[in-house]
């Protein structure tokens, strides 16, 4: 079963040093923030942003609103 654990977004030293303990674990995959960017992800985020602009201007409900 795959599990995920939220880790800090920033490390004391960036980039992470090659001898960082997390990198020695076989069950850990470490990616930079850019690791989540794909054409599909950028397109989806752009669409949500455009929908939110329209919603804001027309009094609609914002998607993924953080309060």
Domain assignment present for residue 17? The answer is no
Structural domain count, the chain? 1
Q: What is the pTM of this model?
A: 0.49
Domain assignment present for residue 30? The answer is no
What are 15-24's pLDDT values in tens digits? 778 888 888 9
* Residue ranges making up the domain that contains 43: 35-67
Give pairs for 33-38: CB < 8 Å, separation 24+: 33/9
Say how far apart CA 22 and CA 28 lie, in whole Å. 7
When pLDDT is cut at 50, 70 and 90, the band that residue 8 belongs to is low
| For range 52-63, the mean pLDDT | 94
Give pairs for 27-32: CB < 8 Å, separation 24+: none
């Amino acid at each position: 079963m795959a599990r995920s654990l939220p880790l800090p977004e920033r490390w004391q030293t960036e980039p992470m040093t090659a001898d960082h303990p997390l990198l020695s674990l076989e069950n850990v995959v470490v990616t930079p923030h850019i690791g989540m960017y794909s054409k599909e992800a950028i397109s989806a985020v752009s669409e949500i942003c455009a929908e939110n602009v329209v919603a804001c201007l027309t009094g609609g409900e914002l998607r993924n609103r953080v309060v």
